[in-house]
């Protein structure tokens, strides 16, 4: 055993590469509340120094990447160059979500996913929008209620903190609109993971939007019930979701009737929860599936910490 391996064996330690960004700060705050994890930081002046970062990577058990895609790919190459001293990795960027050799970090995907994450060297943290959409769609696909080639439409609204540095600055300065559709070229970077891990064979139409609030998210999927196999009721869809998430600590199916046809996008802010709803008009045979989450919680930092804990054997 090398010296760095011995250090790793003593106390689980994590280095957040990109800890000064929005997601990095959120992850660090959550890890600070865990006595079972030590966070190793790099000097601010050395954050872009490959040699300094590589040296720290060799000393820790796990590295979380909170970097742009190209920088994340470079960081992975840097970590892998350490050979036997290479740390395990959770990548919060889009770079590796559908890449070979990476495990998708949505622990509630199916019954096997938690163990897949526990045993993985490299885990790709899910995107915030796909977390909501996949949580709604995948159980219905697996249950045979939603065809894999269904012409699916996914609509979503997020707080502006999910849009990166330039969007955050624009809203903080009052230079952005109150509400804005974007990604209207229908090439949003989250579509590949939504398709792959939603269990879909037909590319969905995804229409994201951003509102003038810092964090919070609603993801909705409209369905014509009579176009689905067996023409299920809304209760059938809800039952499939309830069954899938029966043992999930962070994901729950909530009664739609209690909300009287309205949902507050900000209600789960500051939590790592994900709530799912089935709103329906049975007379018209229409339904809308809705996921609610904090885009900085279960949509980013909360999922990352969940994956870190699984990989380090803490949960």
Phi then psi for 25, rounded to 5 degrees?
A: -65, -40
Strands 217-224 and 251-253: unpaired
Q: Is residue 28 within a helix (H) or strand (E), and if so which, with residue range?
A: helix 22-32
Q: Which residues does 5 contact at the CB level (< 8 Å), separation at least 6? A: 84, 85
Cβ pair 108, 248 in contact under 8 A: yes
Cβ pair 200, 138 in contact under 8 A: no
Tokens in use for 21?
């960004």
Per the annotation, the verdict on 128 as an active-site residue is yes
3-state secondary structure of 257: helix
Q: Which residues does 35 contact at the CB level (< 8 Å), separation at least 6? A: none
CA distance 67 to 91: 8
Query: Exposed/middle/buried for 264, CB within 10 Å: 0-12, 13-18, 19+?
Result: exposed
Phi then psi for 96, rounded to 5 degrees?
A: -125, 20
Candidate list 56, 63, 90, 128, residue with the active-site label = 128
Q: Give every strand in the sheet of 13-17, ordered side by side.
A: 38-40, 13-17, 62-65, 88-91, 122-124, 103-104
CA distance 312 to 1: 19
Q: Which residues does 74 contact at the CB level (< 8 Å), separation at least 6? A: none
Would you name the residues annotated as active-site residues?
128
């Amino acid at each position: 055993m090398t010296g760095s391996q011995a250090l790793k064996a003593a106390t689980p330690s994590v280095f957040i590469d990109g800890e000064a960004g929005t997601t990095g700060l959120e992850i660090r705050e959550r890890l600070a509340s865990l006595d079972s994890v030590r966070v190793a930081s790099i000097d601010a002046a050395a954050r872009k120094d490959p040699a300094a970062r590589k040296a720290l990577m060799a000393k820790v058990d796990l590295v979380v990447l909170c970097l742009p895609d190209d920088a994340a790919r470079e960081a992975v190459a840097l970590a892998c160059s350490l050979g036997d001293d290479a740390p395990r990795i959770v990548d919060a960027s889009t770079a590796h979500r559908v890449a070979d050799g990476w495990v998708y970090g949505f622990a509630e995907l199916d019954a096997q996913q938690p163990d897949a994450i526990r045993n993985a060297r490299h885990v790709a943290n899910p995107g915030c929008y796909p977390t909501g959409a996949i949580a709604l769609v995948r159980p219905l696909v697996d249950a045979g209620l939603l065809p894999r080639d269904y012409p699916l439409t996914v609509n979503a609204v997020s707080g502006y903190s999910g849009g990166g540095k330039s969007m955050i600055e624009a809203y903080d300065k009052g230079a952005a609109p109150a509400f804005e559709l974007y990604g209207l070229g229908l090439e949003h970077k989250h579509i590949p993971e939504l398709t792959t891990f939603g269990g879909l064979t037909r590319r969905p139409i995804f229409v994201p939007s951003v509102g003038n609030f810092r964090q919070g998210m609603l993801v909705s999927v409209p369905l014509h019930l009579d176009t689905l196999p067996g023409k299920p009721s809304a209760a059938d869809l809800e039952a499939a979701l309830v069954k899938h998430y029966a043992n999930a600590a962070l994901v729950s199916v909530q009664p739609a009737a209690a909300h009287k046809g309205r949902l507050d996008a900000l209600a789960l802010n500051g939590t790592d929860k994900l709530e799912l709803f089935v709103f329906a008009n049975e007379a018209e045979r229409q339904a809308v599936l809705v996921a609610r989450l904090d885009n900085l919680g279960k949509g980013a930092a909360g999922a990352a910490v969940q994956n870190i804990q699984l990989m380090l054997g803490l949960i």
